[in-house]
Amino acid sequence: MNKSITTARACGKIILFGEHAVVYNQPAIAVPLQAIAAMVEVLPTKAGSGLRISVPQTQREFRFLEAHEGSENGLIVTARLVLKKLQAPEPDISLVLHSTIPQKSGFGSGAAVSIAIARALSSYLGQPLDDAIVNDIVYEVEKMHHGTPSGIDNTVIAFEKPLYFVKTRPNEFIHINGKFHFLVATLPHSTPTKVTVSDVRYLYEKHPRRVQRIFRRVGELTNEARLALETGNISSLGPLMNENHKLLKRLTVSDSMTDKMCRAAVRAGALGAKLSGGGRGGNMIALVTDETRGPVADALMKHGAVRVIHTSLEATKKTTQ
């Protein structure tokens, strides 16, 4: 067994279209966000010390032995599932986790740290797991955190490709044409995805026909967006984002700050803007051009963004910063 020192990385993600409706079997589009990432380094430790996961940023350390089956710590559960899959005994190592992905902000932090752990541990054991297996393992951990997640976060991060995702259908990856520039703004507040998903569930149970119509329209927008991305039709993508945002508002998952930031982005020259992810804070995304990138970033900062990340999508398999 090859036990050299190993490192692994997993990027963040951003949802472009279809959040919430995706939980009800409509399509969604998500893309990797390479500007932020989780990294894990494997350090062998002395014999008998067991497996530990340490997070220097939060000065926390989790020990495998102290956790028990069904343990609530997602990192330890990930390690346990990897060892089970590989039928490997607990190694004597320390998995050191560093991450630049803000937590609870809709960037897939939970999925990314688990994916980095799964990749680092399996590589250290000399049996690197392929992306599909890592994806399945991390989906189990996501369920522990989020109840009934669609699985979009773990999938786009595991495969690191623009993804057209429908729950229960095989994954489809999008081949981008042209070049699309986005600004992703982090808001100073966030709401747990579990909360907004359960509020949408409540609304759906109360007004099934009305909410189902919204979900179907979101699905149509997502399909149109896929076509725009695949044909390099930048000008048609912006209005689709604006309409998706309006529908998310009707699902009650936006809030006044997010709405203001979307309006400010469009006023400053963005071709379109919408919330992204679970909503009521977290992050929002705007489609810009080379010319409008600067003014839109300034407007977003002026309206309270904590950070603005530029990302672009082009005819390669990955996003670039």
Nearest-approach distance from CB 72 to ligand PMV, in angstroms: 19
16 binds ligand PMV (CB under 6 A): no
* H or E element that contains 24: none
Is there binding between residue 149 and ligand PMV (CB under 6 A)? Answer: yes
| Residue 171 or 177 having the CB closest to ligand PMV | 171
Give the SS3 label for residue 281: coil
Q: Does 158 bind ligand PMV (CB under 6 A)?
A: no
Any idea what the Cα angle at residue 195 is, between residues 98 and 237, rounded to 5°? 75
- The SS3 call for residue 244 is helix
Among 10, 12, 19, 248, binds ligand PMV (CB under 6 A): 19
Measured from the CB atom, is 64 or 107 closer to ligand PMV? 107
With CB under 6 A as the contact rule, which of the stretches 16-24, 74-82, 179-187, 213-221 interacts with ligand PMV?
Answer: 16-24
By CB under 6 A, is residue 22 in contact with ligand PMV?
yes
Q: Is the dihedral of CA 88, 90, 95, 101 positive or negative?
A: positive
| Helix or strand holding residue 30 (H, E) | strand 28-44
CB of 219 to ligand PMV, least distance (A): 13
Nearest to 276 by CA among 24, 2, 8, 33: 33
CB 13 within 8 Å of CB 107: yes
- Decide: is 15 part of the binding site for ligand PMV (CB under 6 A): yes
Question: Containing H/E element for 183?
Answer: strand 179-186
Among 6, 122, 150, 155, binds ligand PMV (CB under 6 A): 150
Binding footprint of ligand PMV, residue count (CB under 6 A): 15
**Which among 124, 100, 84, 90 is positioned nearest to 38, based on CA atoms?**
100
Pattern 261-300, ligand PMV, x by CB under 6 A: ----------------xx----------------------
76 binds ligand PMV (CB under 6 A): no
Distances (CA, A) of 59 to 62, 217, 277: 10, 46, 28
Query: Cβ(158)–Cβ(295) under 8 Å?
Result: no
Smallest gap from Cβ 184 to ligand PMV, in A, equals 11
Return the range that interacts with ligand PMV (CB under 6 A); candidates 14-22, 31-39, 123-131, 224-232.
14-22
Residues 6+ apart with CB under 8 A from 84: none
> Phi and psi of 20, rounded to 5°?
70, -55
Q: Which stretch binds ligand PMV (CB under 6 A): 19-27, 220-228, 241-249, 258-266?
A: 19-27
The residues of the shown chain that bind ligand PMV, judged by CB under 6 A, are: 15, 19-20, 22-23, 106, 108, 149-150, 152-153, 193, 197, 277-278
